[in-house]
Amino acid sequence: MATMRDKHSDGCGNIHASQGKSSHDMTGGFEDHSMPAPTSMKPLYLDLPTVAATVSLSAASVQKLVRENQFPKPRMLSGRRVAWLTREIEEWAEERPISDLIPPPNTGHNNRRRRSTSS
């Protein structure tokens, strides 16, 4: 038979097993300190579309740079799945030389003048 020290109520009528590291909180329930608080963690691995977006290149350009040994190679995650270590992508980006060129103006298709098609 469990003692009161082994089980506690969460204040909603539910009984939970105590792991011995509980403390009484201000609301009359117990607060469990045995599990670390969830933290936000950046991903360890990135897939090809995410890598391409992260470094502002197309997926084809990333693959070409990998073939030319100018970009980190992906790691095998399983038999048919590869991904890049986030740390290696960040290091590669930091190693890029500083450019003297200014960014070009927006050259997207939306800025081009449309030909008028008069009959």
Q: In what order do the strands lie in the sheet with 45-46?
A: 45-46, 81-85, 75-78
pTM: 0.55
Q: Which of 69-78, 91-100, 105-114 has the lowest mean pLDDT?
A: 105-114
For residue range 4-24, list pLDDT tens digits in order. 455 555 555 555 554 544 445
| % of the chain beyond a pLDDT of 90 | 47
Residue in this structure with the two tokens 């009484």, named with its chain if needed: 24
β-pairing verdict for 45-46 and 81-85? antiparallel
User: What is the distance between the alpha carbons of residues 22 and 86, in angstroms, rounded to a whole number?
Assistant: 37
Confidence of residue 106 (pLDDT cuts 50, 70, 90): confident
Name the CA dihedral angle for 49, 54, 55, 60, rounded to a multiple of 10 degrees. 10
Confidence of residue 38 (pLDDT cuts 50, 70, 90): confident
- Domain ranges for the chain, please list them: 45-95
User: What is the distance between the alpha carbons of residues 30 and 101, in angstroms, rounded to a whole number?
Assistant: 61
DSSP per-residue string spanning 56-116: T--HHHHHHHHHTTSSPPPEEEETTEEEEEHHHHHHHHHHSPPP-SPPPPP--GGGSPPPP
